[in-house]
Amino acid sequence: MAAIRVDGLCKSYGAVRAVDGMDLTVDRGELFGFLGPNGAGKTTTIRALTGQVRPDSGTIRVLETDPTVDPLETRRRVGILPERGSPPSFLTPSEYLAFVGRIRDLEPDVVADRTERWADRLGFRSKLETLHTDLSRGQQQKVMIAQAFIHEPDVVLIDEPLANLDPLVQEQVKRFLLAYAADDNAIFVSTHNIDVAEAICSRVGIVADGRLVAERVPEADDEPLLETFLEYVGDADPRDVPARDRLDQ
């Protein structure tokens, strides 16, 4: 049974067809890249996968649960790293991760143990008792990565995983994501960074105008992903459009 299955998903906002007949499947063990230009429908699809957006039509199953029927159960079982998410400014990483652990039904000593492991892995141990408001954007992103994985979910949905991280931490996070997916979990990574997709994803779906227009296995394909991307998406080079510079939202 697929970890994520989407069939014929459609969602419009007024006259804008944000998602228009999306079909995709992600199996356990896969690090699936959802690659598309600005406005292609990536975030709307992720929001539908987590039950935050109600589709107009189509079916979705995440770990065999329908997020439109049971969004709370879906959110309990998956990890979510939203693109613009940031931890509450008035809490410290320790307090926030303890809070997330409680919501996820984890024992306090398990949360404390995992908090320390994540703080060591991503290098924010010295900031565990500092209010988020006094942390840099990259340090906050590390805390957000920790909260997405703290309950060791079978499926993790990530919007732009490496935004705001320095190159060393990017490398650590890439390695972690690869190992985590290989351990019979499914990771769904939405990005418009073609280098990230090519470097870490076992399979890449190219999304344009609200639907999947091509799928590639970077390791097995001769054609560079950039070529395929341009073939389907036009002549905008996604390397020219870093997330923080986008103006269209």
Residues that bind ligand ATP (CB under 6 A): 13, 16, 18, 36, 38-44, 192, 246, 248-249
Q: Are 155 and 185 in contact (CB under 8 A)?
A: yes
**Measured from the CB atom, is 19 or 97 closer to ligand ATP?**
19
Distances 201 to 3, 102, 122, 155 between C-alpha atoms, Å: 16, 32, 21, 15
Amino acid code (one letter) for 187: I
- Nearest-approach distance from CB 36 to ligand ATP, in angstroms: 5
- Nearest-approach distance from CB 212 to ligand ATP, in angstroms: 12
- Nearest-approach distance from CB 15 to ligand ATP, in angstroms: 9
**Measured from the CB atom, is 19 or 100 closer to ligand ATP?**
19
3-class DSSP assignment, residue 204: strand
Q: Which tokens in the block code for residue 102?
A: 């409680």
- Nearest-approach distance from CB 18 to ligand ATP, in angstroms: 3
**Measured from the CB atom, is 43 or 92 closer to ligand ATP?**
43
- Rounded to the nearest angstrom, the gap between the alpha carbon of residue 89 and the centroid of all alpha carbons in its chain is 22
**Measured from the CB atom, is 45 or 92 closer to ligand ATP?**
45
Query: CB 142: neighbour CB atoms within 10 A?
Result: 24
